[in-house]
Amino acid sequence: MRKYIIVYLTFLVQFAQGQVTPELTPKIWTLDDCISYALENNITVKQAELQKNSSVQSYMAAKSSRLPNLTGTASQNFTNGNSIDPITSDFVSQQINSTSLGLTTQVTLFQGNQINNQIKQNKLLVDQYSFYEEEAQNNIILSLTESYIQLLYSKENIIISENNLEASQKEEERAKARLDAGSIALKDYTDAQSQTATNAYNLITAKNDYAQQLLTLKQLLELPNGESFQIADTNASDLGFIPNIDDVYAQALEKLPEINASKINVSVSEKELDIAKGGYLPTLSLLGSIGSGYTSTQDFVFADQLDLNFNQRVGLSLNVPIFNRNQTKTEVEKAKINIDIAELELVQQEKDLYRKIETAWLNASAAQAQMLAADTARKAAQESYRLAQKQYELGALSTTDLVVSQNTYTNAEQNYNQAKYLSLLYTQLLQFYQGNDIKL
């Protein structure tokens, strides 16, 4: 017992000196923390990485098609009656036990340049899937940014709701005191009670919205169930710089992976056409084999027969396509169509990108203008509410008018809050389209 007491006292001393710190406070996550964690753990990002790795293996297999193959064969046969000896090729009429052993190899010397084009096409596919992986990473970054900013917005709404509830509770207390003193009617007091209840309801709604947004962010991060999670605050009061829309679009065309992937898709389709045209050309292959065997028709032992019957063979094989029921012609025409499809997809991708950039640019401009107007409105509403509170304390204003003033101020705060975070979101999107990192 004395031993446990000493250990416990030692722990208390270390805790008091700061040497032992219990993990009571959850980690505070910045947006950079969220992005770094998601890029390593998000399922969609992992799937994109696996698809890229699979394309690398296909590329390695295509390169290996230049190499000769090597096949070993072995067979054991029993023949009875009139037959040809599989080893000596003599015609015999007896029972034959025979063993055949061999190695064969073949290498394609020319195949309409299809092998080289297949290798080049698979290399393009590796590059394309690398861009797909980068696109998956960008998508999760954008989703995280939007969710993170939405969470900041919800968090600030909680503060607004808490301040409103605290103010309405004080006003309800004043109203109760004035009712007891007989200076106001019962309706004024019930109006104050109703406002307190409404603000309490709004606070619950704000907290629930925050919890929902927090759940969304945790799911994007693939965090374990039940893990504590909090986000860091950020200063979003400054107006971000809105770049020229044409400059943003020009930089996005060069840097965004989805555009580069679409460009490569055109090249992949062009290589498919080269591969298809190779079907019109002949195929030349080099063949080689070695073999030996044993047969019961010869009076030599097994080892001697393997030496006696050892043979080597080398040759060339030429395969000239003459008519294959228009299969090659069909593949060529389909490849041409696929090129047109890929080019149209690239044009559509560029149009979609411009639409996204233009939408973000318009929203950023509107949000900044709204933020300036909302800031003026909230300052005026704040002053008006402050004066209304003074008048209410002096009995020169009814509870109903005070509630109206408070609601006006609350709406102005929420409008400013919304415009502020929308401005932050869309200015960061424009930075992202230019290839810059998102920084909050």
Residues 370-388: what's their mean pLDDT?
95
Q: pLDDT for 296-309, tens place per residue?
A: 988 889 999 999 99
When pLDDT is averaged across residues 169-193 and rounded to a whole number, the result is: 90
pLDDT at residue 178 in the model: 86
pLDDT given for residue 360 in this prediction: 96
Spatial distance between the Cα atoms of 282 and 279, rounded to a whole number of angstroms: 8
The mean-pLDDT minimum among 53-57, 136-140, 218-222, 426-430 falls in 218-222
Span 10-34, pLDDT tens digits: 444 343 344 444 445 667 899 999 9
Is there a contact between 42 and 140 (Cβ–Cβ < 8 Å)?
A: yes
**Nearest one of 153, 172, 181, 236 to 406, comparing CA atoms:** 172
pLDDT tier at 2, thresholds 50, 70, 90: very low
Cβ partners under 8 Å of residue 428, min gap 6: 145, 149, 240, 438, 439, 440
C-alpha–C-alpha distance, residues 79 and 98, integer Å? 8
**pLDDT tens track for 389-430:** 999 888 888 888 999 999 999 999 999 999 999 999 999 999
Spatial CB neighbours of 330, under 8 Å, sequence gap ≥ 6: none
Nearest to 400 by CA among 189, 257, 233: 189
Using only the alpha carbons of the chain, give its radius of gyration.
Answer: 39
Rounded to whole angstroms, how far apart are CA atoms 248 and 360?
A: 11
The answer, yes or no, to whether residue 5 has pLDDT greater than 50, is no
Query: Domains in the chain, start-ordered, CATH in brackets?
Result: 30-65+113-281+327-433 (1.20.1600.10), 68-111+286-320 (2.20.200)
Residues above pLDDT 90, as percent of the chain = 76
Q: What is the pTM of this model?
A: 0.85
The amino acid that residue 433 corresponds to is Y
Q: Tens of pLDDT along 68-109?
A: 999 999 999 998 888 888 888 888 888 899 999 999 999 999
Instruction: Please provide the average confidence, as pLDDT, over all residues in the chain.
Output: 90
What's the pLDDT score for residue 135? 96
d(CA 412, CA 416): 6
The pLDDT, as a whole number, for residue 299 is 87
- The mean pLDDT value for 321-334 works out to 96
Amino acid at 5: I
Q: How deeply is 402 buried, as exposed, middle or buried, from its count of CB atoms within 10 A (0-12, 13-18, 19+)?
A: buried
Neighbours of 318 (CB within 10 A): 10
Q: Going along 296-361, which residue ranges are E strands?
A: 311-319
- Mean predicted confidence (pLDDT) in 329-338: 97
